Structure formats: C-alpha cells, structure tokens
A = this chain, B = another copy of it.
Amino acid sequence: MSTKHEFGAMEDIRMKFGAKVKDLRISKGYSQEKLAELSDLDRTYIPGIESGKRNVSLVVIEKIAKAFKIRISELLNDL
C-alpha cells in the first residue's frame, strides 16, 4: 500500500521485545522459571519469548509488566 510506512521487518519487534524481557529478568536476578511463576505464564513459554519466536499478546505483555512491577509503556519504551 502506498500510504503504508515500513520501518523494517515485522519480526524485529518480537526479537526486540524478547531481548528487553531477558535484560529485565537478568537485572532482577530472576531465573526463567521465576519469571514464569511471577507472570503466571507457563515455564516453557519464557524461552520462546526471549528468543523472539513468540508474538506475545497484550494480555501476556501485561502479565510480564506486572511481574517486573513496571508499566506496560515502560516495558515497551525502546521498541
């Protein structure tokens, strides 16, 4: 579409988000299991997020932000 703006590959956002989650998790000293527990997500879900394979939903983003006790906009502030 001529009116559409392309700023790079769509899959990049997943990788950027995964890297941010991993950075925050490590800065808090949490294991992937601990983050899963705090965010009420399945333990097997976290590696897929951190590696950028998962296209997480808004509800999952909210759960992760709550686990880190930060706002959603803060979790996504450099994406």
* Complex CA distance for A78 and B73, rounded to whole angstroms: 8
In this complex, the interface size class of chain A, counting residues with CB under 8 Å from chain B, is: 20 to 34
Q: How far is the CB of A33 from chain B (nearest CB, A)?
A: 12
Does A66 make an interface contact (CB < 8 A)? yes
Query: A22 near B: Cβ within 8 Å?
Result: no
A62 and B13 contacting across the interface, CB-CB below 8 Å: yes
Chain B residues whose CB sits within 8 angstroms of the CB of A59 once the complex forms: 10-11, 13-14, 55
19 residue pairs from A and B, CB less than 8 Å apart: A1-B38, A1-B40, A3-B37, A4-B37, A5-B66, A10-B59, A10-B62, A10-B63, A13-B62, A14-B59, A17-B58, A55-B57, A55-B59, A56-B58, A57-B58, A58-B61, A62-B79, A73-B73, A73-B74
